[in-house]
Amino acid sequence: MRKLSTYTHARYCTDEVDLLAGLGEVEEAMEHFRRIDKRIPNYFYVRRSKLKEKLMIVVTKGLKADEFRYREHIFKPERQFKPYEDFGYVGRRLTRLTIYGWDWNEFWLCANSIAHQNLSLKYADIFLMDGDMLVVPCENFLGEYRIE
């Protein structure tokens, strides 16, 4: 196991990308310890909590209460899927968007960093991106959701 980089220290992180890289590195190191059945050092938990705390401050800076920022885009939870919107229905209406460095886990980390007054928005499936496009986060890509 290699030594953790300085990005795992919140004080050295200057922007959202640094914080997400640090969180990813700490999570990866913790997973490594779990795989080899060793005790995870306490300072991993401390670093992770400080990185998450600073990420919440950076991400919510200048945004409305129900918005969050991911990869220079602003997202707002819109709604959950309706009962008639099954996998096939949604799949036919998705168009792949190109977002450099898309990562499912980082997206949900940012999405869950905001305080939702409406609990159904915490579990939203459809998001409004940059105020003009409905999107659905998928594991390998972000898809534009077109309602016809």
- Each residue of 117-146: pLDDT tens digit? 666 667 888 899 888 899 998 888 888 888
Q: What is the DSSP string of 37-90?
A: T-PPPHHHHHHHHHHHHHHHHHHHTTS-TT-EEETTEEEEEEEPPPTT--HHHH
pLDDT classification of 59: cutoffs 50, 70, 90: low
Please state, in angstroms and rounded to a whole number, the distance separating the CA atoms of residues 18 and 12.
Answer: 8
Please state, in angstroms and rounded to a whole number, the distance separating the CA atoms of residues 34 and 63.
Answer: 37
Q: Which residues contact 28 (CB under 8 A, 6 or more apart)?
A: none
Instruction: Check pLDDT > 80 for residue 113.
Output: no
- Each residue of 64-98: pLDDT tens digit? 777 888 877 888 888 888 888 888 888 888 888 87
- Each residue of 98-111: pLDDT tens digit? 777 788 888 888 88
Angle at CA 103, nearest 5°, toward 100 and 105?
A: 160
pLDDT classification of 116: cutoffs 50, 70, 90: low
Q: Residues of the chain with pLDDT > 70: what percent?
A: 91
Q: What is the DSSP string of 73-140?
A: EEEEEEEPPPTT--HHHHHHTEEEE--TT--HHHHHHHHTTSPPSSHHHHT-SEEEETTTEEEEE-SS
Q: What is the pTM of this model?
A: 0.57
Angle at CA 141, nearest 5°, toward 131 and 124?
A: 50
pLDDT classification of 1: cutoffs 50, 70, 90: low
- Each residue of 36-50: pLDDT tens digit? 999 998 999 998 888
Structure tokens at 35: 């795989």
